[in-house]
Chains A and B, each alone.
Chain A
Amino acid sequence: MPFSEDTLTRLKADAAEITGRYPRARSALLPLLYLVQSEEGYVSDDGMAFCAEVLGITQTEVRGVATFYTMYKHEPAAEYQVGVCINTTCAIMGGDQIYAELAGHVAGAPGHEDAEHGDALGGTSDHGDIKSPDGKVALERLECNAACDYAPVVMVNWEFFDNQTPASARELVDKLRAGENVAPTRGPSRLCTWKQANRILAGFGDGQAADGPSAGPASLVGLKLAKEHGWRAPGAGESHHDSEAAGGSVEPSSAQPPRSDKETS
């Protein structure tokens, strides 16, 4: 459905802000695609026409770009896009089993035909998502999401759900379908919707940056150990006076007591 006048006015103002960030407007195409995806949940023909008009390029050019990148959806996405990492480390640590069990669980029928494991097609979006009957949740396979030290990893709307098990992942999906809040492991205490996530990707913050931990437990294992042993980068003070400034300090700060987060094991 074409955008209403009000929507168009709003989108145009956002689009102007986006193009204004770049020395050349065409660079704004990726964030503009996120912008229209945040409006409709996917990149529709109208969304592409809007991007084309803003940039003064053809719709074919826009489509060529939109289809290259896996994060743009070409049919309406669910409110919660659940992705299971099936790249090697996660797969072997249990991601394959999580995906297989979730596939049946989400589809509402155990033993879903696509449920075996990341298969020879190599993976991700080209399989199409498995949607829950209520359309709230869609399941997809993901490649490595740069969280291998928290394997197996599940992402919902691109937020981290670390160290999952088949049981925790099922519970996660159930809560999402029931409309209960779930908190990402490393992220804000409230999970945003798919559309809201795309608005952040377009460059418009939601004010939640300060929520959640600085780092998860696995990110801190080395630092904790160093503190226990009194290990540190050499005292830069020996050669330079303003030694504390090691771009994030060579001196462990004593402003806060070390946290005692449970380590992953």
Chain B
Amino acid sequence: MTDTLTPVLTANWDQPDSFTLAGYSRTGGYKALPKALAMEPDDVIATVKNSVLRGRGGAGFPTGMKWSFIPQNDGKPHYLTVNADESEPGTCKDIPLMMANPHVLIEGIIITCYAIRASHAFIYVRGEVLHVIRRLQYAVAQAYEAGYLGKDILGTGFDLDLVVHAGAGAYICGEETALLTSLEGYRGLPRNRPPFPAVEGLYASPTVINNVESISSVPSIIANGPTWFSGLGTEKSKGYGIFSLSGHVKHPGQYEAPLGITLRELIDLAGGMLRPGHPLKFWTPGGSSTPLLTREHLDIPLDFEGVGAAGSMLGTRALQLFDTTTCVLRAALRWTEFYQHESCGKCTPCREGTYWLVRAVERLESGKGSDEDLETILDVGNNIVGRAFCALGDAAPVPISSAIKYFRDEIIQHQKHGGCPFDPAASTAWAV
């Protein structure tokens, strides 16, 4: 039996120098690198494939397979871009990871670049996290000094340059093609796919884009072998992952566990819900773009298949928990406003649709809405999903439509009550 929690990426975070080269090396860091560099690049790809690591940035695409799409001997430069934009509401795992353990990411980057034959890599990190950016810059400088980056790494003839690139405040730049456009120095607008980034990515060259946690998992896979990794987790969702608990729970924070743990187990680990007498009401399994779930879903396995079968998505394992003091309409309105604010404006269904959604949800929240508004919302939502240019648009109606699915009565209550029947003061962290 595997233990309940399995710290790997988080294992050294309690060391005061975990973010330094010395601290990371002392706890076993940079031991996977020489092992990988002694392998054939294709064998590194095969190892990651065999581990069945699936992308940790939300969509769960198999990482090794993504790498194998990079054409070889094409005469073009190849690039790796790490997606460190972490801006999906609720998601808060990559930022503490890079603050406490930037070297595990860097070791993963070097191994990945060796595998896909890239000699230039970028960490596209959201700009609003100054201390994380300091830590990344410092770690990259230390890795250069140690000869892990730069020319002829560890005497193998492999060269790699790594740049820390700060974004500038735009959720859409987490979408992989918008990220590339932004990294090229333009407004962060998504691009058509195909061509996929593996063929025409950064500067129209083959490019791998992976999430911070995906790349950071690579050293452990190389060091311990693919069967070690695939021995953790569930049948189709292998390995471990960081589960981020926030909201109305006693001890919010980061819990690294095999995929498939349940929310009930996690809440127990976190000391229970915040206030006695106020149980869980609704939650997101993986950020605001994943449909809300309720107390009836406490025992679903938190893996790609389990959450999917419950009508939602595993997403980024950003578990935002709200107890019975919380108005679901207030929560949904705020998320809907977020999508409107962050819509890049490129396509009409999303740009206009998010505007109409906010207006209709606002009417409901203020108690001035009607049953017609409920229908409008579902209708506008249907018109965005599938017609939007990128997944931001598809996600925009998710909070409100899932709120309607589970809490229609409460939403209608707002009309009868002439406003919100909840007291916002009762749901604050300091309310008893």
Contact = CB atoms under 8 A, between A and B. Distances in A.
Interface of A: 21-24, 26-31, 33-34, 55, 64-65, 68-72, 86-89, 91-94, 96-97, 117-118, 120-126, 142-152, 155, 157-160, 163, 165, 184, 186-188, 192, 197, 200-203, 205-206, 208-210, 212-227, 229-234, 236, 239-240, 242-253, 255-256, 258-259, 263-265
A146 B10 contact: no
A106 B131 CA distance: 25
B31 A240 contact: no
Interface string B414-431: 000000000011011110
A21 B168 CA distance: 18
21 contacts: A65-B187, A72-B169, A92-B322, A92-B427, A94-B429, A97-B425, A120-B358, A123-B338, A159-B130, A184-B131, A201-B130, A201-B133, A209-B131, A209-B138, A222-B256, A243-B223, A248-B216, A249-B27, A250-B11, A258-B14, A264-B252
B90 interface: yes
Contact of A71 (B15, B128, B250, B342): B128
A200 B137 CA distance: 9
Given A219-B13, A255-B27, A151 B429 contact: yes
Across chains A and B, which 10 residue pairs bring their CB atoms closest together, nearest first? A247-B219, A245-B31, A122-B337, A209-B138, A69-B168, A222-B255, A218-B253, A70-B169, A221-B253, A231-B3
Interface in B1-40: 2-20, 23-24, 26-32, 35
B167 A30 contact: yes
Contacts of B89: 87-89, 143-144, 148
A128 B186 CA distance: 24
Interface string B230-260: 0110000000100111111011111111000
B310 interface: no
Contact of B11 (A201, A249, A265): A249
A193 B184 CA distance: 29
B387 to A, nearest CB: 21
Please indicate which of the listed interface residues A89, A208, A216 has the most CB atoms of chain B within 10 Å of its own CB: A89
B326 interface: yes
Contacts of B30: 245
A207 B185 CA distance: 27
Nearest to B188: A68
B15 A221 contact: no
Given A209-B137, A215-B96, A145 B128 contact: yes
Contacts of B130: 157-159, 187, 192, 197, 200-201
A259 B13 CA distance: 10
Nearest to A255: B26
Give the most central of B14, B188, B243, B246: most A CB within 10 Å. Answer: B14
A70 B188 CA distance: 12
Nearest to B101: A248
A35 to B, nearest CB: 11
A142 to B, nearest CB: 7
Nearest to A221: B253
Interface in B270-298: 270-271, 288
A91 B18 contact: no
Contacts of B385: none
A215 to B, nearest CB: 4
B11 A252 contact: yes
A187 B141 CA distance: 19
Contacts of B341: 121-124, 126, 143
Q: Which of A145, A160, A215, A232 has the most CB of B within 10 A?
A: A215
A242 B31 contact: yes
B92 A146 contact: yes
Given A143-B341, A146-B95, 14 more contacts: A91-B330, A94-B428, A122-B358, A143-B87, A217-B253, A219-B13, A221-B270, A223-B10, A225-B255, A232-B7, A236-B223, A243-B224, A246-B28, A264-B252
